[in-house]
Amino acid sequence: MSTPINVMDAATLENLLAAEDSAVAVLDVRTPAEFESVHIPGSYNLPLDLVTEHAYDVTRKLAKQIVLVCQSGTRAGQAQQKLSELQIESGSVLDGGISAWEKSGGEVVRGTQRWAMDRQVRMTAGSLVLLGFIGSKLASPKLGYLSAGIGAGLVYSAASNSCAMASVLSKMPWNKASTNGKANPLAQIPNAGQQLNPHGK
């Protein structure tokens, strides 16, 4: 059973971050490349596929109320669910993600510009569906199965609240961040290199 998602709007987060000795830590679960393109100042990057592996370590080292951020809120909600399954206080999800933060006038740090992952998924899926349709008319009817397969994949993605295509795209060369020699995306989180077990031993 899914845990209800706790959300926080952009205005509330901005007020909390502006307070002296803010007790809030922003954890961005997008890919390193997306994070490099645009992120909230002072936020930490922990990609969604690493959340379960490093959850205890990161949440204990940050030792603050955590607000999870992604592009629109979907992946942050998945991250919150993962933390909940590990019985870790999962904090809140930024309602509308970094997109809502920018629209509200929130400050951001910008780097190398890339398409957001959801936009890449739409372009890839749409292109494959179009390719399958055209190919079935001009080359072989069997290519129509490509369109059907993509359609089925999108239905499963919506039903399971997951996206295999995004996972594959995140590993493409254009989605690699400029890490300046730091291959470990957790290097920016204080003391995150040392693993802690669930019992802190």
Q: Please tell me whether residues 18 and 63 are part of one structural domain.
A: yes
* Per-residue pLDDT at 186: 65
3-state per-residue secondary structure call for 112-130 = CCCCCHHHHHHHHHHHHHH
Q: Does residue 181 surpass a pLDDT of 50?
A: no
Q: Please tell me whether residues 105 and 126 are part of one structural domain.
A: no
Q: Please tell me whether residues 121 and 135 are part of one structural domain.
A: yes
Give per-residue pLDDT as tens, 142-153.
888 888 888 888
Its domain, for residue 86, covers: 7-112+177-188
Per-residue pLDDT, averaged over 173-198, amounts to 56
Q: Please tell me whether residues 93 and 129 are part of one structural domain.
A: no
* Per-residue pLDDT at 162: 67
Q: Please tell me whether residues 106 and 73 are part of one structural domain.
A: yes
Q: Please tell me whether residues 12 and 67 are part of one structural domain.
A: yes
Q: Please tell me whether residues 54 and 101 are part of one structural domain.
A: yes
Q: Please tell me whether residues 31 and 57 are part of one structural domain.
A: yes
pLDDT band at 104 (very low <50, low <70, confident <90, very high): very high
Give a yes or no: residue 199 inside a domain: no
Cα 72 vs. chain centroid, distance in angstroms? 9
